[in-house]
Structure 1
Amino acid sequence: MIRIAAWLMVLYATAHTVGAFVVEDAARHVPAWFSGELWGEDFSNMSPAGSALWLTLASFAPPLFILGLLLLWLHRRRITPPAFVAWMLGGLTMIDGVINPFTPWPILLLASVLLLIGIRRAKRENDRPHDSVTDASRLGHSREVG
Structure 2
Amino acid sequence: MIKWAGWLIAMFGAAHTLLALTVEEAASHAGDWFGGELWGDDLSAMSSANSAYWLSWNSFGPPLVVIGLMVLWLHRRGIVPPPFIAWTLGVWAVGDTVILGLSPSPVILLASVLLLVGARRADRNDAPAPAADTTRAP
Normalised to the residue count of structure 2, the TM-score between the two structures is: 0.91
Listed as ranges, the gaps of 5+ residues in structure 1 are: 131-146
Number of the residue aligned with 2:86: 86
- Partner Cα distance (2:120, 2:31) in 1: 46
Question: Does 2:108 correspond to 1:108?
Answer: yes
The residue number in structure 2 matching 1:31 is 31
TM-score scaled by structure 1?
A: 0.86
**1:9 paired residue number:** 9
Q: CA deviation at 1:129?
A: 2.5
State the identity %.
Answer: 53
2:45 is aligned with 1:42: no
Instruction: State the one-letter code of the partner of 2:98.
Output: V
What letter matches 2:115 in structure 1? L
Report the residue type matching 2:67 in the other structure. Answer: L
Q: CA deviation at 1:128?
A: 3.8
Q: CA deviation at 1:58?
A: 1.0
How far the C-alpha of 1:10 sits from its partner, in A, is: 1.1
CA deviation profile, 1:82-115 (whole Å, cap 9, x unmatched): 1111001100111111111121111111011011
The 5-angstrom pairing of residues 64-79 of structure 1 reads: 64-79=64-79
Quote the Cα distance in structure 2 between the aligned partners of 1:58 and 1:127: 41
For the aligned residue pairs, the C-alpha RMSD in angstroms reads: 1.2
CA distance in 2, matches of 1:41, 1:125: 53
Report the Cα distance in structure 2 between the residues aligned to 1:128 and 1:75, rounded to whole angstroms.
20
Separation (CA, whole Å) in 2 of partners of 1:57 and 1:122: 35
Instruction: Output the CA distance in 2 between the equivalents of 1:69 and 1:95.
Output: 23
Which runs of 5 or more structure 2 residues have no equivalent in the other structure? 131-138
